[in-house]
Chain A
């Protein structure tokens, strides 16, 4: 995210602890903060989830409506993901059209859902070439204390799994649960002076050199990755993050059923 100003004393504190293998909040390098997932949080949405990841707070909603399919996928529903970094969530977020940070966030979340084939888009076809279900996933960050990628992804997955297709409202028969095929999970880590830390807090993100998000499926196979920030990663570090994501993915998957 946008490079916010950080006091030297805080920066030094993080570095000093890290040199002893410790984190500011006492977690292990591969330990997530406490996570709560609350689904069906917003009744007006087809599906929704509020995710708290430590002090990071994200609300994800799914809205569905009928529409025309894309020409190149005439028999598949449409998935669209958007993320809003609203000024309520942080003094560094500004009102206005999506900036590059929110676009990257939305696209990384979208890629994980799309590439894992979590949603059975072919089951969202009503009449080929004419009418399909369109599924809009909107991510709103409410409180920003780092690792928006995993909080948002967890929220999106939980919201989608809880979503009911509003067929009755559109005169398309009875409502039915959104057909899903898998439960992808993303894990994000940062590299700070060659230490790898999972689920970074905002302060850790501010001093981070590089970031990597890895999205895996039930088999532990890779479905999406995204490296960010101006620093570099060694191949060994990438492997370490992938293996950790495969391992922790199993635990996190339980949170979203």
Chain B
């Protein structure tokens, strides 16, 4: 497959440049019952995240008298990948759930809610490489949508390597021939790295290039996260609001 994934113009199989993200759409507050939720469409990835809590911590022996626990469950649904995935947690999803929980715990003010649990559920509806990053990106928006006090939202993206070139945000076809995969999550405001994994083969120079792409992309994704929240809570019709105000007053009097 060598030399086939990037053409002579430096464009990839889906027409992107090496440092270009797939199209990303984020929507906040998409589920009724959850305290907070978000939907992310990231290229061909489709991801839902829901937040419940802070609520009573289960199992109870995990309760921490000094802070809340952030318990994330990452799950791929059975028909999200080409070969059916056996339902239930496997070793990969247990690991991903753990590192996403750890990243989220950093931004949540857990000390405000001792003994409780903030439960985050990430469901991958359709997978096309980069699902853990899309999942974490969605989970951050869902946490904010739930009104959970937090320091910041966490954008996340994977940088890869194909045809001996460092490339941002691999899609499935590229991932199959990838020489390295390096998912990261960075809070742009502080430069805090909250998630970092790597497998494959990279030199230190390539790593530095990957960080340049990854940090840049995280800033863009962060903006999309903020936009999604603003859209969710924007007040569109100012007149309508004025009409509603007296009605509320009546209610209170009655």
A and B form one complex: yes
8 Å CB contact of A227 from B196, B202, B204, B208: B196
Stretch at the interface among A20-28, A104-112, A132-140: A104-112
8 Å CB contact of B207 from A98, A230, A242: A242
Q: How far is the CA of A230 from the CA of B103 in the complex (A)?
A: 6
Are B196 and A104 in touch, CB under 8 angstroms?
no
Beyond A100-B95, A100-B97, A104-B95, whether A229 also contacts B199 by CB under 8 A is: no
Main secondary structure of the interface of A (DSSP, over half): mixed
Are A226 and B193 in touch, CB under 8 angstroms?
no
- A201-231 contact mask (Cβ, 8 Å, vs B): 1 or 0: 0000000000010000101111111111111
Interchain nearest-CB distance for A116 vs B (Å): 8
- B97-123 contact mask (Cβ, 8 Å, vs A): 1 or 0: 111001101100000000000000000
Are B204 and A107 in touch, CB under 8 angstroms?
no
Interface bin, chain A: 20 to 34
Q: How far is the CA of A238 from the CA of B185 in the complex (A)?
A: 13
Beyond A104-B95, A235-B191, A242-B207, whether A115 also contacts B196 by CB under 8 A is: no
Interchain nearest-CB distance for A211 vs B (Å): 10
Residue of B nearest to A234 (CB): B191
Residue of A nearest to B193 (CB): A233
- B190-206 contact mask (Cβ, 8 Å, vs A): 1 or 0: 11111111111111100
Q: How far is the CA of A225 from the CA of B200 in the complex (A)?
A: 10
8 Å CB contact of A104 from B98, B190, B215: B98
In the complex, whether B94 has a CB less than 8 A from a CB of chain A is yes
Cβ of B92: which chain A residues have Cβ within 8 Å of it? Answer: 107
Interchain nearest-CB distance for A51 vs B (Å): 23
Q: How far is the CA of A217 from the CA of B105 in the complex (A)?
A: 33
Are B200 and A115 in touch, CB under 8 angstroms?
yes
In the complex, whether A45 has a CB less than 8 A from a CB of chain B is no
8 Å CB contact of B99 from A98, A223, A228, A242: A228
Cβ of A229: which chain B residues have Cβ within 8 Å of it? Answer: 102
Are B102 and A228 in touch, CB under 8 angstroms?
yes
Q: Which of B181-225 contact A (CB under 8 A)?
A: 182, 187, 190-204, 207-208, 211, 215
Beyond A227-B196, A233-B196, whether A222 also contacts B204 by CB under 8 A is: yes
B interface residues, tally (CB under 8 Å): 34
Are A222 and B99 in touch, CB under 8 angstroms?
no
Are B193 and A234 in touch, CB under 8 angstroms?
yes
Cβ of B4: which chain A residues have Cβ within 8 Å of it? Answer: none
Cβ of A226: which chain B residues have Cβ within 8 Å of it? Answer: 99, 196-198
Beyond A100-B97, A231-B106, whether A224 also contacts B199 by CB under 8 A is: yes
In the complex, whether B33 has a CB less than 8 A from a CB of chain A is no
Interchain nearest-CB distance for A209 vs B (Å): 9
Interchain nearest-CB distance for A223 vs B (Å): 6
Q: How far is the CA of A103 from the CA of B98 in the complex (A)?
A: 10
Q: How far is the CA of A144 from the CA of B62 in the complex (A)?
A: 21
In the complex, whether B86 has a CB less than 8 A from a CB of chain A is no
Interchain nearest-CB distance for A218 vs B (Å): 12
8 Å CB contact of B192 from A114, A232, A246: A232
In the complex, whether B91 has a CB less than 8 A from a CB of chain A is yes
Beyond A107-B95, A232-B106, A235-B191, whether A223 also contacts B200 by CB under 8 A is: yes
Beyond A228-B99, A230-B102, whether A212 also contacts B200 by CB under 8 A is: no
Q: How far is the CA of A6 from the CA of B197 in the complex (A)?
A: 28
Are B187 and A221 in touch, CB under 8 angstroms?
no
Cβ of B105: which chain A residues have Cβ within 8 Å of it? Answer: 230
8 Å CB contact of A115 from B106, B190, B199: B199
- Which of B193, B197, B199, B201 has the most A CB atoms < 10 Å from its CB? B199
Q: How far is the CA of A212 from the CA of B197 in the complex (A)?
A: 9
Cβ of A233: which chain B residues have Cβ within 8 Å of it? Answer: 192-193, 196
Cβ of B91: which chain A residues have Cβ within 8 Å of it? Answer: 98, 103, 106-107
- A3-31 contact mask (Cβ, 8 Å, vs B): 1 or 0: 10000000000000000000000000000
13 more CB-based (< 8 A) A-B contacts, given A222-B207, A223-B199: A98-B91, A100-B94, A104-B95, A107-B95, A217-B201, A223-B200, A225-B196, A226-B198, A230-B105, A232-B194, A233-B196, A238-B196, A243-B204
- List 13 A-B residue pairs with CB atoms under 8 Å apart, sorted by A's residue number: A103-B94, A114-B199, A115-B199, A219-B203, A221-B202, A222-B180, A222-B202, A227-B195, A227-B197, A232-B106, A232-B187, A234-B193, A242-B207
The 4 closest A-B pairs by CB, nearest first: A232-B192, A225-B198, A227-B196, A230-B105
